[in-house]
Amino acid sequence: MLGLMLDAVVIISLVGLALQSLYAPSLFRSILHFVVFGLAMSLAWARLNTPDLALAEAAIGAGVTGALVLVAFRRLIAIQPDQDKPSTESRSRLALPIALGAGLLVAILGLATVNIETLPAAAGVAVLNNLSSTGLENPITAVLLSFRGIDTLLEITVLLAALLSAQAVTRPDALEKSIVTQNPDTPLIGGLLAIIIPLTVLVSIHLLKAGSESSGGAFQAGALLAAGGVILALTGRLSPSQQPSLRLNLGLLLGLLTFIVMGLLPLLNGQPLLALPEPWAIYLLESTMMISIALILLLLFTGSISLRHRRG
Amino acid sequence: MDSATLYVVAAAVLFGIGVDGLIVSRHLMRKLFALNIMSSAIFILLIATAAPIDDLPDPVPQALVLTGIVVAVSATAFGLALIVRLCQETGKTTLSVDDEPENDD
């Protein structure tokens, strides 16, 4: 009963935050509500007994998306200062019926399939039965890397494609000075970084390692590491640069290239493609993917071709 | 009513809100939020309707949604870059199809 009430509270806040993020009078309020919506989603995942998703949503959905949206808002304001004016929306008369129909469709789909019996041949049952053959204890990591490695390979490719497309449409002259805090040399900032950055690295490595037996994994760890990078960019320790850097580009490609090589290696022994042999292969893969994911997300944030270290 | 059903209803409501927001909002960033809310609704639906195996949630839809979250962020990042560029080129953050002839009174 208490559980149901908690669920109800989470759901009511989700709906309220969604409404606010779409219809709040000012855009800035929309953005804030949208970021909090991501956090509420992460609570919903925790309530649905899926801690891996809760971690991913908190780090990627709320954290990285929030940073990206806020920096985009900053750039829009720099071009056109009156972003925040209340929108004069003209309501289409068709909007409400279409929305109701779409919601109803989802409801029918969901209510028809909720609470049906597990089929004995369900993929999830097969995963749990063969979990010991992968050497992993977390079934989700096993699905991501062992059973459906091709999905994860394509996932990191999508991430890279998004970065390349974003770089292609970003005009370099828009790259700013504006994301850096006003006084990057305040002593307190150095002290803050000295605590936060090692902590971020430590927690992301823990998340990466934890991914094999409990909740965690390369994507959560990479997002967290990227958050550390975002802090460094905001405090001016890393500044956007338009000079392509070989080291950084290698870092961006590291995860994908390792994945491809590791995926092709089993072919030499006559095994199928992407049959990852041992846990060490999975650890190597996850570590390189974490680095690439962190760099990709960081570059999506700064919007630049590469980064320059500034002695601060 | 159990909590899975509750979350299915929530997914339906959120999806409806997302569709409405996508049609009604004029600022492109809000449209992007609407798309994100719609995808969140579908993620909830996938997890809530997945039958548990031995009282644990099915790992396959979880992996599916995890991939989905990352792809949603990639798409959002690209969308934001497009919005910023559009604003640079035209000075506007709305699409011309949404710009009905307005009489500002």
A44-74 residue pLDDT tens: 999 999 999 999 999 887 889 999 999 999 8
**Confidence bin at B10 (pLDDT 50/70/90):** very high
Instruction: Judge whether A268 is closer than 8 Å to chain B, CB to CB.
Output: no
Instruction: Judge whether A159 is closer than 8 Å to chain B, CB to CB.
Output: yes
Neighbours of A41 (CB within 10 A): 28
Token pair listed for A111: 């209510």
Cβ-nearest to A140 among B17, B63, B73? B63
Neighbours of A273 (CB within 10 A): 12
Pairing of strands A238-241, A306-309: antiparallel
User: Do B10 and A53 make contact, defined as CB atoms within 8 angstroms?
Assistant: no
What's the pLDDT at A214? 79
Average pLDDT value for residue range B7-29: 93
To the nearest whole number, what is the mean pLDDT of chain A? Answer: 86
Q: Which residues of B touch A88 (CB under 8 A)?
A: 26, 102
Q: Count of alpha carbons within 13 Å of A185, Cβ hemisphere only?
A: 3
ipTM surpasses 0.85:
yes
Average pLDDT value for residue range B8-27: 94
- A254 with A291: CB under 8 angstroms? yes
- Cα distances from A296 to residues A15, A242, A278, A300, B49, in angstroms, run 31, 15, 27, 6, 33
**Confidence bin at B11 (pLDDT 50/70/90):** very high
Size of interface A-B (CB pairs under 8 A): 273
What's the pLDDT at A312? 47
Cβ-nearest to B80 among A68, A124, A159? A68
Instruction: Judge whether A269 is closer than 8 Å to chain B, CB to CB.
Output: no
**Confidence bin at B98 (pLDDT 50/70/90):** low
Q: Which residues of A touch B18 (CB under 8 A)?
A: 18, 22
Instruction: Judge whether B50 is closer than 8 Å to chain A, CB to CB.
Output: yes
Q: Which residues of B touch A221 (CB under 8 A)?
A: none
Global pTM reads 0.90
Q: Which residues of B touch A91 (CB under 8 A)?
A: 24
B59-82 residue pLDDT tens: 899 999 999 999 999 999 999 999
Give which of B64, B79, B1, B69 is closest to B33, Cα–Cα. Answer: B79
User: Do B30 and A22 make contact, defined as CB atoms within 8 angstroms?
Assistant: yes
- Interface probe for A, chosen from B1, B35, B69 (most Cβ of A below 10 Å), is B69
Task: Give CA–CA dist A142/A157, Å, rounded.
Answer: 19
Instruction: Judge whether A129 is closer than 8 Å to chain B, CB to CB.
Output: no
Average pLDDT value for residue range A88-107: 86
Residue in chain A closest to B63 (alpha carbons) equals: A140
pLDDT of A150 higher than 90: no
pLDDT of A39 higher than 70: yes
pLDDT of A275 higher than 90: no
Q: Which residues of A touch B48 (CB under 8 A)?
A: 48, 110, 114
Instruction: Judge whether A164 is closer than 8 Å to chain B, CB to CB.
Output: no
What single-letter DSSP state applies at residue B50?
Answer: S
- pLDDT greater at residue A162 or residue A118: A162
Task: Tell me whether residue A97 is exposed, middle or buried, using C-beta atoms within 10 angstroms of its C-beta: 0 to 12, 13 to 18, 19 or more.
Answer: exposed
User: Do A110 and B48 make contact, defined as CB atoms within 8 angstroms?
Assistant: yes
**Confidence bin at B104 (pLDDT 50/70/90):** very low
Token pair listed for A79: 């071009």
Give which of A119, A98, A100 is closest to A108, Cα–Cα. Answer: A100
